[in-house]
Chain A
């Protein structure tokens, strides 16, 4: 059912592990990755870029006692691999013993028969060739541009597909593999505004299975609608008002929370939530789940980056912080057990991370949420990087719409929104039901009762 031969990747991983052990390391863990991608971009009806490639690489983490090193290479020749293992050994001897370093307990490792099939691969995605991708992109862009004559230009429409497989093999006895596909379509029209500014807007759809991807023309029409809606954008006076986040802006907010509840930030005390487990950190409307087992989920995986069987965690339950998400290193640092949230980069390094991290939907339609709001800033885009995890201070540039009497009154740009993340999460007073699992971290539309909006 897939074009990938997991057994072959595992065999290569096993060879590397054995060679590393022979060279003198105590622990070796190899991740062997293979992937292919195609990307086709059309601009103003003409093909602009077709990109196609495949790749294969190996990442290795080794330990000599409790000295750790990580190496990565795409040079899979015999000489390249030998050199790669020598480098790992040399670097492990250079690093200094870390009392908390080590592989996960052997009896926690999962076995291949227990790995669930999460339906992450779609051969239809893999079958998209350059010609078909260009056609889809053309359709999408044409649908956008013909929907209004003010759409005079375009940054183009892009259709991409990627697929990949990876295998993890460890000297502790784990061997497993995973593979999947991901297809996306992105449209970015540009309109001329009356003040001489250009207005660029976009919309996109992404799914693991082609049949679930939104129709190219629908994506184009929605991109056009979003671009036109920005015409005439202006600043706001500085004030404190409710703020509504759409799913794109909401995702950015939720990813800030993700960064504050995963292992490294917690044991380093680089998170304002480091000492808050078991306490109220958000309004009682807020439930956030980390679920690696969602069928067809963009962040789904049968086992974690250390070989532990994946499992679902309710991280925030009606406002209460229930658990941090940990790999075995951060778990040891905190004196507890891994939550099976280890993520292994293709480069070989391991850290704790979220999988499908989702703010659970509320019961109201997003339009009804807006129409029930008297005055608010509705944020659709955020810019910049103004967040300090250690204090929770948040301030970013934003654009979107001014809501007056339950209606979109006018588009807004060049403002900043600020508040401490602790206050933001506690201030969530309405959650809509429009969650869309395009990306592994996602939220529905939601409203925060009060933030500072700074404008002219």
Chain B
């Protein structure tokens, strides 16, 4: 790790007020002083930067620095949680005492033996975008603006943004984990509005990940600008979408967000521990078409959803969730893993020190299938091709989900014809997974744009999938029939 960065946690080894194992032991003992079974400490330092371009100029730049400690104490299935922003010894002890209250007995605490943890290196955090000169980032935005305006005279507005952060964490637990990680993240986005006569439409493009500014030597600001303009111009000619049940083909890459909602959330083990998911007690059973193999893979280099350790200090790998249609595993945090008597899968994540961890996805992928993507498209007489997604949502209890498309096309006789506006896809997770009748050999992962929300907590995630055909799904449009 580089030490030249301006953005280092004060509690880092080299920081002004390092947190060492002796301090952690004292706080954990306090946390368990009322008889809790387990306690952990989550120290977090977060520095963020934002640059936004509008009307051809860098209109505003922002920066934030926050830090704090979250103390969690568990007694059976009950959790006590307290956090402080002030990392003085008194304030930290106060949080430990507050969280301890979830248990109401007393007790002595065995000495904690911390184990040395091997932390993998799935992103390089030495070369932070935060440390790069502001002028360089301003220039990236200005380049996108110029490129978008040069691309087409119908472009009337260009907005571009760059958001960056570094999150430095330290986890210490009463069962012996003491782990540090430093997680960089960057996201770039361009949005344009194009106008032709009275018609006005927007288009966008974005990407990023746990990466340095080297990202832009592969996908330049000009590339994103051109993609956003293409999107907006195509949408100028979009027609009202048909409504009703029809065949749907998902484009590779970002369409993985549908999988994230349709099946991913239902496989987070907290819902299954509580018996409130559609997938409760389904391990070993077929839950999807044989073409579906789904993994949650935290190891992808530099991906937005990748992590070296989760927010409970466990190292995630690539977890097989569905194997050729059969459910083989859930995503676990420590709590659900204990319930199911299995190993935590490293999916315990949280938004910040102000929130307790839950099972969350990292990069959720549907692996490639046998079909040529052209062949998939040719097989559809009339249907919808989903190219770009806005957002989606799922009701875990019954698996019903909804997605809105920002770019979709009508498929007629195996060919893409008219672009469609106002398309929503609605379906039921288990039902749609069984209706996957073709899967392409062209698997792609999304560029880093997705953020997942659960119980009010947002975490960055990755998704991926090949071209996929779903034999029937409800398309919500305005044109009945």
Contact = CB atoms under 8 A, between A and B. Distances in A.
Contact of A50 (B79, B156, B157): B79
Interface string A60-98: 000000001111111100001001100110111011111
Interface in B214-259: 241, 243-245
Interface string B48-65: 000000010111111111
B402 A384 contact: yes
B59 A50 contact: no
A324 to B, nearest CB: 18
A391 B421 contact: yes
A126 interface: no
Most buried by B among A88, A97, A190, A239: A190
Contacts of B62: 69-72, 91, 347-349
B201 interface: yes
A418 interface: yes
A187 to B, nearest CB: 14
Contacts, number: 258
Contacts of A240: 480
A55 B85 contact: yes
B178 interface: no
Contact of A383 (B102, B245, B400): B400
Contact of A386 (B58, B245, B404): B404
Interface size class of A (residues with CB under 8 A): 35 or more
A93 to B, nearest CB: 9
A388 interface: yes
Contacts of A87: 63, 65
A347 B356 CA distance: 23
B363 to A, nearest CB: 22
Contacts of B134: 90-91, 94
A43 B241 CA distance: 43
A98 B193 CA distance: 21
B367 interface: no
A72 B64 contact: yes
Nearest to B73: A50
A95 B61 contact: yes
Interface stretch (A21-29, A115-123, A307-315, A394-402): A394-402
B202 A452 contact: no
Interface in B93-117: 95, 98, 101-102
Contact of B480 (A238, A268, A347): A238
State the majority secondary structure of interface residues on B: strand
Contact of A48 (B59, B78, B84): B78
B275 interface: yes
B66 A197 contact: no
B127 to A, nearest CB: 20
Contacts of B243: 238, 416, 418, 452, 454
Interface in A234-271: 235, 238-240, 268-270
B447 interface: no
B64 A49 contact: no
Interface in B397-437: 397-404, 421-424, 426-428
Interface size class of B (residues with CB under 8 A): 35 or more
Contacts of B393: 383-385, 397
Contact of B477 (A270, A388, A452): A452
B123 interface: no
A454 B66 CA distance: 46
B424 A384 contact: yes
Contact of A74 (B66, B396, B478): B66
Interface in B349-405: 354, 356, 390-404
Nearest to B135: A94
A200 B64 contact: no
Contact of A53 (B78, B83, B278, B403): B83
A344 to B, nearest CB: 13
B65 A84 contact: yes
B476 A68 contact: no
Nearest to A131: B101
B64 A73 contact: yes
B398 A413 contact: yes
A52 B98 contact: yes
Contact of A190 (B61, B276, B478): B276
Nearest to B102: A50
Contacts of B394: 383
B122 interface: no
Nearest to A152: B275
B154 interface: no
A57 B61 CA distance: 19
A217 interface: no
A456 B59 CA distance: 47
B476 to A, nearest CB: 2
Contact of A390 (B66, B80, B202, B481): B202
Contact of B423 (A48, A90, A347, A395): A395
A49 B61 contact: no
A51 B82 contact: yes
8 contacts: A52-B98, A53-B84, A75-B65, A80-B65, A238-B480, A386-B402, A397-B400, A415-B426
The 8 A-B residue pairs with the shortest CB-CB distance in the complex, in nearest-first order = A416-B476, A397-B402, A384-B402, A200-B397, A386-B404, A454-B243, A198-B397, A96-B57
Given A51-B81, A238-B481, A397-B424, 19 more contacts: A50-B79, A51-B82, A80-B65, A92-B61, A94-B138, A96-B57, A200-B397, A270-B157, A384-B402, A384-B403, A386-B476, A388-B421, A391-B201, A395-B241, A397-B401, A416-B402, A452-B476, A454-B243, A454-B244
